[in-house]
Structure 1
Amino acid sequence: MPKRIVRSAAVLATVSLPLSACSAGGQGAAPPSPSAAAAHPVFGQKTERQVFLAVRETQKAPTARFAQKLTFTGKKGSIVRTTTGGLDFAGDRGHAEVSWDLPARTSGKARTAVLGVTPAREDGETAGTYLVDRQRIRYRAASSPYWIDYAPADTSGGSGGLTDNDPLEFMRGSESPVGGTLLEALTAGKATSYRQTPAGGRAYRAELSDSALSVLFPHDLHPHVVLSGPSASRRPPVPLTVEVDARGRITRAGITVEDAFRKDGGLADFTTLTLDLSLSGYGSGAPSPAAAGRVLKAADSVRDIGEVRKGGCVDFATGQLSSRQVVTVPCSGSHDARVLGQHRIAPGADDDATRVRSRAVCGPDAWAWWARPKDGTGSEVRTTCYDVS
Structure 2
Amino acid sequence: MGAVSCGTPGGDKPPEPAHPVFDAEQSMQLLKARDVTRQSGLARFTSTVVVGSAGGDLVETSRGEQDFGRGTAYAERTVSIADDFPERVADRLGPPGTETFAITARQVLVRDGSVWLHYRPVGVGPVADAMRSLRRFEGETAPFGDTLAEAIPSARPQGRPVVREDGGRDYRAVVPGGVAAAALPSGLGKMKDGWNSEAGKGQNGMFPMEIRLDSRGRVTRATMDLTPLLTHMRDVEGVQSVRATYELSGHGGRATRTLPDPSTVEDATKTLTLIGEVAPGDCALFAPGLASAAMVRTVPCTRKHDLRVFGQALVGILGSRAVEEGAARKDAVASCRDQFHEAPEAWVREAVPAGRYLVTGGSRFTGHIGASGKSNSRLRGQYTCYVRTSAPAS
Does the TM-score normalized on the shorter chain lie above 0.5? yes
SS across alignment from 1:52: helix
The whole-number CA distance in structure 2 between the counterparts of 1:243 and 1:380 is 48
Q: Is the 8 A contact 2:284 2:296 kept in 1?
A: yes
Q: Is the 8 A contact 2:92 2:291 kept in 1?
A: no
In structure 1, what is the Cα distance between the partners aligned to 2:84 and 2:173? 36
Q: Give 1:257 shift.
A: 3.6
Instruction: Return 5+ residue gaps in structure 1 as ranges.
Output: 1-32, 116-123
Deviations 1:246-280 (A, max 9, x none): 22111111122443314874433333322221111
Q: Does 1:298 align with 2:268?
A: yes
Counterpart residue number, 1:234: 203
Listed one character per residue, the Cα deviations across residues 133-152 of structure 1 (whole Å, up to 9, x for unaligned) are: 23532224xxx63544115x
Structure 1 residue 65: Cα displacement: 0.5
Pair 1:270–1:379, CA change in 2 (3 A): closer
2:258 aligned to which of 289, 298, 306: 289
What one-letter code is carried by the residue in structure 2 that aligns with 1:277?
A: Y
Q: Is the 8 A contact 2:283 2:307 kept in 1?
A: yes
Q: 2:182 aligns with which of 215, 233, 244?
A: 215
Is the contact made by 2:48 and 2:59 (CA closer than 8 Å) also made in structure 1?
yes
Aligned residue identity for 1:50? Q
Report the Cα distance in structure 1 between the residues aligned to 2:156 and 2:233, rounded to whole angstroms: 32
User: SS in structure 2 opposite 1:283?
Assistant: coil
In 1, Cα distance between equivalents of 2:60 and 2:300: 32
- Correspondence for 1:56: 35
Q: Which moved more, 1:180-189 or 1:161-170?
A: 161-170
Q: Residue 22 of structure 2: SS of its match in structure 1? A: coil
Instruction: Choose 173-182 or 242-251, whichever is displaced more.
Output: 242-251
- Aligned equivalent of 1:182: 148
1:202 to partner: Cα distance: 1.9
Q: Distance in 2 between matches of 1:207 and 1:224?
A: 20
Counterpart residue number, 2:248 = 279
Of 290, 303, 307, the match for 1:320: 290
- Residue of structure 2 in register with 1:25 after alignment: none
Q: Residues 372 and 204 from structure 1, CA distance in 2 versus in 1: closer, same or farther, beyond 3 angstroms?
A: closer
Q: How far does residue 181 in structure 1 lie from its aligned partner after superposition?
A: 1.3
Equivalent residue pairs, number: 342
CA distance in 1, matches of 2:128, 2:361: 19
What is the aligned counterpart of 1:138 among 98, 105, 109?
Answer: 109
Identity rate of aligned residues, in percent? 22
Which fold has the larger relative contact order, with Cα–Cα distance below 8 Å and residues 6 or more apart in sequence?
1
1:155 pairs with 2:121: yes
Counterpart amino acid of 1:80? V
Measure how far apart 1:313 and its partner are.
Answer: 5.7
- Say if 2:87 is the partner of 1:108: yes
Q: Does 1:127 align with 2:98?
A: yes
Task: Write the distance in 1 (CA, Å) between the matches of 2:293 and 2:38.
Answer: 36
Q: Which has the higher strand share?
A: 2
In structure 2, C-alpha distance between the alignment counterparts of 1:278 and 1:380, rounded to whole Å: 42
Q: Tell me if structure 2 keeps the 8 A contact 1:347–1:380.
A: yes
The alpha carbon displacement at 1:75 in A equals 3.8
**Structure whose residues are more often helix by fraction:** 2
Listed as ranges, the gaps of 5+ residues in structure 2 are 1-12, 318-329, 349-356, 367-377
1:363 aligns with 2:348: no
